[in-house]
């Protein structure tokens, strides 16, 4: 019987060496999780064998268990390298349409703008609006508009934060007359095709706490415009009851094409200070091409365009399982769902028990080379010991055969 016991020990030690060798070979593989061979005794089940007198039949490898401990995060500086700091897996759609899961975040952009892995699998995530608010709980492949520019947006609102000089002389009493352009500023709006529309705002004091606002569009004479009046309270704030009419802008391409724009002057003040333009903004822009992307800790993918705009292009999804040990490992650093793992639980980075993601970094393998080398030496000694058992048993049998 010792032959079978020793043979089982040799087989178990050999398989353990396979596991250790695989760990060492993949010590530099991104997102790789180490494994270990777990052994169990073998006993014969027979009547009358209870009471501790039953001799074991050897050993077997009961399972090869994966170790899902966190790997070290290595900074790479590449915006498309993403590491998960905590629990969770990236979900990918393989080229055959099936789903797989991985911890390796060394992503790329393909010719169609899809965010893919090295084997061409597409990264799955949630759709968002341009501000980054999730618009659906269903996942889809993450894609960036690399082939075509984003469309231009027509200006619909302009905001001006301006400080007017309370000590300014009423224009009708000023000697010499105060030029209209003394208190003025300008900004650029955009028509539906993204063409620039210069817009000027000019302020003339007509009474204490009252100013007239003249406008200029596409270089027109502000003096020829129809002004409107704004009033200020005694503490210098704009009177909230002051009506602010919308501006009418015209396209440089076709002056007959006009559209209204809301003018927000609510932050304007009148104090004893020099005229100052604190902030000017508008919500339109011309078309632009993709120039770069950034992935935030929450998984929001922010795209930067040549027109200076930044827009969210989706949010990377994470999944987890009740029993990660039940996942089936495959090639290319992927795991597949099985009945033992249970159904995937989806979420987003930083939500609940899901870890955050870090752009510009990769999760290294969690293989401890020192421990693996020690395990290799221990397993080698176990192999040698089992081989010695066979040799000793052979000597015993040889002695029995040669009895006279």
For the segment 174-222, what is each residue's pLDDT rounded down to a tens digit? 888 888 889 999 999 999 999 999 999 999 999 999 999 999 999 899 9
pLDDT, tens digit (0-9, with 9 covering 90-100), for 112-144: 889 999 999 999 999 999 889 999 999 999 988
Question: For position 140, what pLDDT does the model report?
Answer: 94
What is the distance between the alpha carbons of residues 191 and 249, in angstroms, rounded to a whole number?
Answer: 8
What is the distance between the alpha carbons of residues 137 and 82, in angstroms, rounded to a whole number?
Answer: 22
Q: What's the rounded mean pLDDT across residues 26-47? A: 85
Please tell me the total number of residues recorded for the chain in this structure: 404
What is the distance between the alpha carbons of residues 9 and 13, in angstroms, rounded to a whole number?
Answer: 6
Q: What is the mean pLDDT of the chain?
A: 91
Question: For position 331, what pLDDT does the model report?
Answer: 83
From the list 378, 371, 379, the residue with the least C-alpha distance to 69 is 371
The DSSP bridge pattern shows strands 108-109 and 99-102 to be unpaired
The residues, ordered by sequence, that sit 6+ positions from 317 with a Cβ below 8 Å of its Cβ are 90, 91, 124, 125, 126, 139, 299, 346, 347, 348
Kindly report which listed range (71-75, 114-118, 145-149, 245-249) carries the lowest average pLDDT score: 145-149
pLDDT band, residue 2 (cuts 50/70/90): confident
Distances, alpha carbon 316 to alpha carbons 75, 127, 298, in Å: 19, 9, 8
Question: For position 247, what pLDDT does the model report?
Answer: 93
**244's tokens:** 């602010």
Cα distance between the two ends of the chain:
24
**10's tokens:** 């040799």
What is the distance between the alpha carbons of residues 36 and 65, in angstroms, rounded to a whole number?
Answer: 5
- pTM equals 0.76
What is the distance between the alpha carbons of residues 350 and 295, in angstroms, rounded to a whole number?
Answer: 13
From the list 96, 169, 48, 106, the residue with the least C-alpha distance to 295 is 106
The residues, ordered by sequence, that sit 6+ positions from 175 with a Cβ below 8 Å of its Cβ are none
- C-alpha neighbours within 13 Å on the C-beta side of residue 359: 16
What is the distance between the alpha carbons of residues 32 and 385, in angstroms, rounded to a whole number?
Answer: 32
Q: What's the rounded mean pLDDT across residues 16-38? A: 93
Q: Is the pLDDT of residue 269 over 60?
A: yes
Question: For position 144, what pLDDT does the model report?
Answer: 85
pLDDT, tens digit (0-9, with 9 covering 90-100), for 48-92: 555 555 677 888 888 999 999 999 999 998 999 999 999 999 999
CATH of 157-282, one of 2.170.190.11, 2.60.98.20, 2.40.30.10, 3.40.50.1370: 2.60.98.20
Q: Is the pLDDT of residue 404 over 70?
A: no
Distances, alpha carbon 222 to alpha carbons 8, 103, 183, 241, in Å: 96, 61, 12, 25
pLDDT band, residue 257 (cuts 50/70/90): confident
From the list 291, 227, 247, the residue with the least C-alpha distance to 159 is 247
> 């030690």: which residue's tokens?
13
**Percent with pLDDT over 70 in the chain:** 97
The residues, ordered by sequence, that sit 6+ positions from 380 with a Cβ below 8 Å of its Cβ are 13, 17
For 99, list phi and psi in degrees, rounded to 5: -95, 145
Domain boundaries, the chain: 2-69+367-401, 73-139+290-319+330-363, 157-282
What is the distance between the alpha carbons of residues 59 and 75, in angstroms, rounded to a whole number?
Answer: 43
> 């593989």: which residue's tokens?
29
Beta carbons of 262 and 253 less than 8 angstroms apart: no
**70's tokens:** 């966190």
Helix, strand, coil in percent for the chain, rounding step 5: 20, 40, 45
- Strand-pairing partners, residue 143, are 114
**213's tokens:** 């606002």
Q: Is the pLDDT of residue 283 over 70?
A: yes
**303's tokens:** 């795209």
Question: For position 356, what pLDDT does the model report?
Answer: 94
Q: Is the pLDDT of residue 391 over 90?
A: no
Beta carbons of 211 and 275 less than 8 angstroms apart: no
């Amino acid at each position: 019987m010792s032959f079978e016991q020793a043979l089982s020990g040799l087989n178990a030690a050999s398989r353990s060496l396979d596991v250790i060798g695989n760990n060492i070979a993949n010590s530099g593989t991104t997102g790789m999780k180490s494994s270990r061979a777990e052994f169990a005794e073998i006993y014969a089940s027979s009547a009358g064998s209870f009471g501790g007198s039953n001799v074991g039949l050897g050993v077997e490898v009961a399972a090869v268990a994966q170790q899902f401990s966190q790997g070290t995060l290595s900074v790479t500086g590449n915006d498309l390298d993403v590491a998960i700091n905590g629990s969770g897996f990236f979900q990918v759609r393989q080229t055959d349409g099936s789903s797989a899961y991985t911890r390796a975040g060394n992503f790329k952009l393909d010719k169609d703008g899809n965010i893919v892995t090295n084997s061409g699998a597409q990264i799955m995530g949630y759709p968002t609006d341009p501000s980054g608010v999730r618009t659906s709980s269903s996942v889809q492949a993450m894609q960036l508009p690399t082939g075509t520019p984003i469309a231009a947006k027509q200006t619909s609102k302009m905001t001006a934060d301006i400080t007017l000089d309370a000590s300014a002389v009423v224009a009708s009493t000023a000697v010499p007359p105060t030029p209209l352009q003394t208190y003025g500023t300008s900004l650029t709006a955009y028509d539906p095709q993204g063409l620039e529309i210069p817009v000027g705002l000019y302020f003339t004091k007509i009474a204490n706490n009252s100013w007239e606002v003249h406008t200029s569009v596409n270089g027109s004479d502000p003096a020829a415009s129809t002004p409107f009046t704004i009033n200020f309270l005694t503490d210098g704030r704009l009177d909230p009851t002051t009506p602010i009419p919308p501006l009418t802008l015209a396209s440089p391409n076709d002056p007959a094409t006009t559209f209204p724009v809301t003018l927000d002057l609510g932050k304007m003040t009148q104090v004893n200070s020099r005229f100052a333009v604190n902030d000017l903004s508008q919500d339109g822009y011309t078309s632009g091409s993709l120039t770069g992307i950034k992935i935030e800790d929450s998984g929001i993918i922010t795209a930067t365009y040549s027109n200076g705009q930044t827009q969210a292009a989706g949010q990377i999804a994470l999944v987890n399982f009740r029993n990660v040990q039940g996942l089936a490992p495959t090639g290319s650093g992927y795991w597949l769902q099985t009945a033992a793992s249970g159904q995937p639980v989806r979420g987003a980075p930083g939500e609940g028990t899901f870890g955050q993601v870090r752009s510009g970094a990769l999760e290294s393998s969690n293989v401890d080379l020192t421990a693996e080398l020690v395990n290799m030496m221990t397993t080698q000694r176990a192999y040698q010991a089992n081989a010695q058992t066979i040799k000793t048993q052979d000597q015993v049998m040889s002695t029995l055969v040669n009895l006279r």
